[in-house]
Amino acid sequence: MKIVDPTFEILDEYFTSERVLEQIELAGRICYKSEDKITEDSAGPFIKRIIERGHESVLEMGNFVFDIEVDSENIMHKFLEKNPRFNQIDKIEKKHFLISGNPRSFRDLARICPEQKIVKALLGHLTDEFPVLYEDLRPRHGWLMPDGVAVRRLRPKEIETLPLDLFIRHRTVLVKLVINRAVSHELVRHRPASYLQESQRYCRYGEARFGGEVHYIRPCFFKEGTPEFELWKRAMEEAEVAYLSLLKTSSPQAARTVLPNSCKTEIMVNATLSEWAHILRLRTSPAADPSMREIMLMLLPQMVKRFPKVFGPIEEALGLSQ
């Protein structure tokens, strides 16, 4: 067995350099721990296979923001009647709107209300720009550009200049966390975010690529050298022995039933700044689980560094700002 510390990585450079396909592939491969298969041109074929398999949550690992102008507000009202619940929509001024969402949310719009002018305009644009994400949904004669709607995808630099209230609702950040399974279970309770997680069903920790051993997160509760730590360590060793023995005759999904909460997992979290602020506020509070608080207190200063106006007040409220 191997004991590792909790860590995180803010994967924002994919957003700022507009490498959405690469971001989706990197995040998607965490499930299978097959990041070593990433090459310069592997993103397209990877995404195609994901779509064929219907594993569309992988397509939540990106974000598009559109500026929309309509000739008549009625066009937007008709669209809103369809209840597009996985998109953020804001009115900037009369006949002028902002709509954002992950790539999957726009695929759902194509299925749920393809007759809507706004959907036709959005999907026409997206299919031209990112065919691998949308070409399977293209109507027989293509998305006919409707009258009365103009859509324009905002570039990262334009998103950065949005007023703060719009910026926090439309700007997303992808973070990779290496934490234990109890903490990941708490994290995924935050609903307006998207997740992809290392799968104990697909990963066989007995294999050489995992070092043939189970990885555990160092518990923040027990100091090394204390009787409590030794007891914890023994329990982990015994769980590993049972797991590796079961793997000789059973599948990883069967063997994993003996793995404990301390097991290391890797999880990708893609969320708007507004949801990250909610998560960080709740999970850095002294009331939070200490293991969760430990990683969130590590993440908070890095988020403050990147987005001081959004996360600075959380740090201040905790009395941590310098």
Ligand X SMILES: Cc1cc2nc3c(=O)[nH]c(=O)nc-3n(C[C@H](O)[C@H](O)[C@H](O)COP(=O)(O)OP(=O)(O)OC[C@H]3O[C@@H](n4cnc5c(N)ncnc54)[C@H](O)[C@@H]3O)c2cc1C
Q: Which is nearer to ligand X, 101 or 206 (CB)?
A: 101
- Contacting residue, 278, 281, 302, 313, with ligand X by CB under 6 A: 278
The distance of closest approach from Cβ of residue 200 to ligand X in the complex, given in angstroms and rounded to an integer, is 22
- Of 97-105, 137-145, 281-289, 294-302, which part binds ligand X (CB under 6 A)? 281-289
User: Other C-beta atoms within 10 Å of 59: how many?
Assistant: 23
Q: Is 293 a catalytic residue?
A: no
For residue 171, how far is the Cα from the chain centroid?
13
Q: Which residues of 186-196 are buried (b: 16+ CB within 10 A; e: fewer)?
A: bbeebeebbbb
Residue with the closest Cβ to ligand X? 190
Q: Which is nearer to ligand X, 47 or 193 (CB)?
A: 193
**What gap in Å lies between CA 16 and CA 14, rounded to an integer?**
6
- Of 19-27, 221-229, 245-253, 280-288, which part binds ligand X (CB under 6 A)? 280-288
Which residues, 27 to 66, sit near ligand X by CB under 6 A?
A: none
Cβ–Cβ < 8 Å for 76, 106:
no
Q: Is 233 in the site for ligand X (CB under 6 A)?
A: no
Q: Which is nearer to ligand X, 276 or 307 (CB)?
A: 276
Q: Write the CA distances from 12 to 140, 266, 280, integer angstroms.
A: 37, 17, 17
Which residues, 285 to 304, sit near ligand X by CB under 6 A?
A: 287-288
**What gap in Å lies between CA 101 and CA 201, rounded to an integer?**
29
Cβ–Cβ < 8 Å for 194, 176:
no
Q: Which is nearer to ligand X, 21 or 277 (CB)?
A: 277
Strand 215-217 versus strand 2-4 pairing type:
parallel
The distance of closest approach from Cβ of residue 55 to ligand X in the complex, given in angstroms and rounded to an integer, is 23
The distance of closest approach from Cβ of residue 172 to ligand X in the complex, given in angstroms and rounded to an integer, is 14
The contact mask relative to ligand X for 181-220 (x = CB under 6 A, - = no) is --------xxxx----------------------------
Cα-only R_g, the chain: 22
Considering 155, 283, 293, 306, which one is annotated as catalytic? Answer: 283
SS3 123: helix
User: DSSP string spanning 226-238?
Assistant: SHHHHHHHHHHHH
Q: Which is nearer to ligand X, 131 or 192 (CB)?
A: 192
Q: Which is nearer to ligand X, 109 or 277 (CB)?
A: 277
The distance of closest approach from Cβ of residue 205 to ligand X in the complex, given in angstroms and rounded to an integer, is 29
> What dihedral angle (degrees, nearest 10) is formed by the CA atoms of 208, 11, 28, 240?
30
Give the residues lining the site for ligand X (CB under 6 A).
189-192, 278, 282, 287-288
As annotated, the active-site residues are 283
